[in-house]
Amino acid sequence: MSKKSYGIGIDTGGTFTDSILKNLKSGEVESFAKVPTTHFDLGKGIEACLEVLLKDKNIQKEEIEVIGVSSTLATNAVVEKKGGDTALFIIGIEKHMELPVAGFKFIEGGHDVFGNEVKPLNMEALVDGILFFKGRVDSYAVVSAMSFANPSHELVAKKAIILVDDKPVYISSDVSTAPGLEERAATAVLNARLMPVMENFIKGLKKSVEKYADIKTLKIIDGEGGFLNFDEVVERSVKTFGSGPASTAYFGGLNSDNAIVCDIGGTTTDILLVENKKPVIDDTSKIGELDTHVRTIRMKTIGLGGDSRIGLDFRKKLFIGPKRVEPLCFKDKILSPDKWMESFENDLLFYLNLKEEASLEIKKCFEKKEYLTIKDFYLNMGKNEKTKEQIQDFVNRGVLGVCGFTPTDALCILKKIKAPFEKNSLIAASILSKELGISVNEFCEKVLGIIEDKLVDSIVEFLTSHSSGKKIKEVFPDWRQNKYLKIEFGSKFPIIGAGAASGHLLEGVAKKLNTKLILPNFHELGNALGALSIVIEK
């Protein structure tokens, strides 16, 4: 009897962790799973997802040949300014840079553009610098003048740091052969900052995966549609920036030669481009506010998803996003929205999530009530800027969850999806729609119309920038309301949907761009399938 052969694809998204099990001999998808992402420990969410995926499958460890993992870890760490404290050594040139470092030191040395040594490396100053930072930082980054022509001073500095302080070290020549001291420095610093974060992730991932498979089968998808082996990913952490979108783009390439790929998650939407079945790649990328030499998928990300917060501002203008909240239609036993929701303020409901140790102050807030409005929370904690920051921190860590009206609730009311607690959505929509003087259904249609227009605008901006190098806003600041011209756009490429909400939110987008919408099999798990497909092919 021949041995069975399986592959697993995993994607840790901003809202859900998805996994998919594929029979590598038949090509059939045999099971899939979706569980909430555990931001405080991604490994726990992955373990829970694998448990559901492989339940009752009776698959032996040796039968799982490959596991591809795409993750938002690097992206989220940069956006949320997480990471270790890093010391930066700049060799050969005294140039101040705005970089997220704990400290930096200039060292004599460096080379010219032909690779000739300009000055010898000042080893005494280098060692003094290492001794100063020892015990104060988690990692080191090194960039030397013209190291793309001759990296010897960076290599010597790296060895010296390792001998004096046993902390991770990253040098710019490890990632880039292109000129540009600031971009090289930024790349080195980001990688050094991410290394401790990635190390923790890998430890949790190893613990989660080795229950089900040989850890050597594990591959981490990088930002340009390749992968890193399990044992090299910490050293090259920054290369995983854009891992999720790379998997999405690859998934798109499986289904069309040329396409716009839109991955609509709970929190964000990624827009990508596939040409000749291959994702379009950028040789440089902007990570956070920093220009780097990291090669990534060309993409545009907007803060709009199926769980984006919806409300009215003080002018009674409808807004959607960028913050994510839990849809009301999936929340059981919450206070009825008419007890806490107001049209302009207090339209979020907080609840305690004890998956991570909370502060004593937070626990006291929730001793008598499972759910609190923001107003009640402020009464307990005191309203100030620090409290606002605490709330967001607690939400990011999974201590607090947030409920509110979302596009998912609108879809539920319009019968486009089924959800168990539609009544919550209806009550909330009636409160918001009343302020606008329209019916509940009209309000929900208005929500979807705004989302469609935002997606159309973003696709037009993305394609205009890609094809001409210019932003549409530079030529037509508000092309929809142009006084003299009736401007319409159409796409020559079809739109491929990925993510659970794409089937409901992209149909109108495709119509407005006069193109076809493609929803491939398992598009709800596109990133997980894309991650596995990258590993199988490459």
Rounded to an integer, the average pLDDT of 77-101 is 82
DSSP code at position 337: G
Residue 284 and residue 184 in contact, taking contact as beta carbons nearer than 8 Å = no
Residue 312, strand partner residues: 318
The tokens for 360 are 């004593």
Q: What is the pLDDT of residue 90?
A: 94
Distances in whole angstroms, Cα of residue 134 to Cα of each of 68, 143, 189, 235: 37, 19, 17, 20
Residue 193 and residue 140 in contact, taking contact as beta carbons nearer than 8 Å = no
Query: pTM for the whole thing?
Result: 0.82
Whether the per-residue pLDDT at 107 is higher than 80: the answer is: yes
pLDDT in tens, 497-526: 998 889 899 999 999 999 999 999 889 888
Q: Predicted confidence band at 1 (pLDDT cuts at 50, 70, 90)?
A: very low
Q: What is the pLDDT of residue 387?
A: 63
The tokens for 275 are 């040409």
Whether the per-residue pLDDT at 175 is higher than 80: the answer is: no
Q: Predicted confidence band at 106 (pLDDT cuts at 50, 70, 90)?
A: very high
Distance CA 111, CA 127 (A): 20
Rounded to an integer, the average pLDDT of 36-48 is 80
Whether the per-residue pLDDT at 358 is higher than 60: the answer is: no
pLDDT in tens, 370-425: 777 777 777 776 655 566 666 777 776 667 778 899 999 999 999 999 989 999 99
Rounded to an integer, the average pLDDT of 260-268 is 88
Distance CA 252, CA 272 (A): 9
Distance CA 142, CA 87 (A): 9
Distance CA 19, CA 12 (A): 9
Residues found in the chain: 538
Q: Predicted confidence band at 479 (pLDDT cuts at 50, 70, 90)?
A: confident
Q: From the CB of residue 96, how many other CB atoms can be counted at a distance below 10 Å?
A: 8
3-state secondary structure 467-520: HHCCCHHHHCCCHHHCCCCCCCCCCCCCEEEECCCHHHHCHHHHHHCCCCEECC
Helix H or strand E segment including 360? helix 360-365
Average pLDDT along the chain: 85
Distance CA 289, CA 35 (A): 32
The tokens for 487 are 């401007």
Q: What is the pLDDT of residue 345?
A: 58
Distance CA 350, CA 371 (A): 6
Rounded to an integer, the average pLDDT of 72-92 is 79
Q: Predicted confidence band at 451 (pLDDT cuts at 50, 70, 90)?
A: very high
Per the listing, tokens 């499986």 go with 254
Whether the per-residue pLDDT at 302 is higher than 90: the answer is: no
pLDDT in tens, 272-301: 999 998 889 888 777 767 788 888 888 888
Q: 445 burial class (0-12, 13-18, 19+ CB within 10 angstroms)?
A: middle
Q: What is the pLDDT of residue 456?
A: 94
Lowest mean pLDDT among 204-218, 281-295, 432-446, 455-469: 281-295
Distances in whole angstroms, Cα of residue 435 to Cα of each of 19, 316, 343, 430: 42, 7, 7, 9
> Which residues, in sequence order, are CB contacts of 272 under 8 Å at separation 6+?
245, 248, 249, 252, 260, 261, 262, 263, 279, 280, 297, 298, 299
Q: Tell which residue, 116, 113, 140, 115, has the closest CA to residue 126.
A: 140
Residue 297 and residue 275 in contact, taking contact as beta carbons nearer than 8 Å = no
Distances in whole angstroms, Cα of residue 445 to Cα of each of 9, 205, 253: 35, 42, 32
Q: 106 burial class (0-12, 13-18, 19+ CB within 10 angstroms)?
A: middle
